[in-house]
Structure 1
């Protein structure tokens, strides 16, 4: 007869714990994956922030470069404009000093002294050189009177359509600058003369008609 020990220790089956240990490993692996995903997400967010910062910095630097380029272009245009103005002023001053010489040549030409000879060649060369630099003369008989170009010292007629009747001194313009106004005498234009002639003829006709009626 076999004696049974009521206090015999229970038998533990290791197979019962295999599932539990496997579940614990899966949890650890899942936690590691979650941590890696979180780290990757943080890394992506950091990269996006860095990319936005670089883009903003690049846009600001591009704007600064464009502004500097525009300022430099304006500076170059201003310098070129000032340089041209300085050159034009110097030329105008030199040409202005030669207007008296041109007046003497005009008087000599009017007296027939420049019809031939070496002086004629010198005068022609001087006038040609000044015209190439931009000198333009104005003020000749028959031109419409312009108070911005001509200075009238004599008036004849009614003055409705004034034209230049006599030139006492030529005017000169250098580029857009008037170096000297022309001294002229002003008279009526062709239209005014024709109108005055027609009015005088009408008055004469009316006078003749009245005289015939009186007889």
Structure 2
């Protein structure tokens, strides 16, 4: 019958299994590769070398003159951009340092002005005492007053408002106006309370009587 299968046919239909493990599972020894497997491995390696060879040769091909010119131009542009970025960063750093120094000086001046402003009432009392003749030269109170004035001058404190100078509303506060014949512009006729400035910063305006032109 056609469906009968002989033992020989069974053997022919069985798959061939090759054990390619390098370690023998029974003995634990390293197996030496067979001749046909070695040839197959060498052929595979040679094929890989053959595939990579054209790529290496392609990479080694020199650039054309046009491509080289484009590459050089790109490199010059990159260097120029990096140089501009560096110069811009340096300029920003200089500006930052300038702002920091300016803010630091302004903060220092503001703190000094606030401290001096708190001591002005004592200076006013000493000025009144001097005006009444209470500060005798060489007396302890006169020595203290001189030391205080010297210390204030060291920080740049200066008086504002002198009799006879032109009235300036930025530094003077007019307490009273006195119409005066012959006066052509507003002039300080008397200083009621001395004003003070620290550099360009006004610590306290001077309270003055102003002589104004008579109508």
TM score, norm. by length of structure 2: 0.63
**Residue deviations 1:24-58, cap 9 Å, x none?**
xxxxxxxxxxxxxxx87x55444433322221211
- Structure 1 residue aligned with 2:145: 123
- Structure 2 residue aligned with 1:30: none
- Structure 1 residue aligned with 2:192: 168
Structure 1 regions of 5+ residues with no counterpart? 1-38, 197-215
The CA RMSD over aligned residues, in Å, is 2.3
Pairing 1:87–2:111 present: no
What pairs up with 1:1-80 in 2 under 5 angstroms?
42-80=63-101
Distance 1:100 1:55, change over 3 A: same
Structure 2 regions of 5+ residues with no counterpart? 1-60
TM score, norm. by length of structure 1: 0.63
Cα distance in 2 between the residues matched to 1:155 and 1:57: 72
Q: Secondary structure at the match of 1:157?
A: strand
What pairs up with 1:134-213 in 2 under 5 angstroms?
134-157=156-179, 160-188=184-212
- Structure 1 residue aligned with 2:3: none
- Structure 2 residue aligned with 1:98: 119
Q: Say which structure is richer in helix.
A: 1
Number of residue pairs aligned between Structure 1 and Structure 2: 152
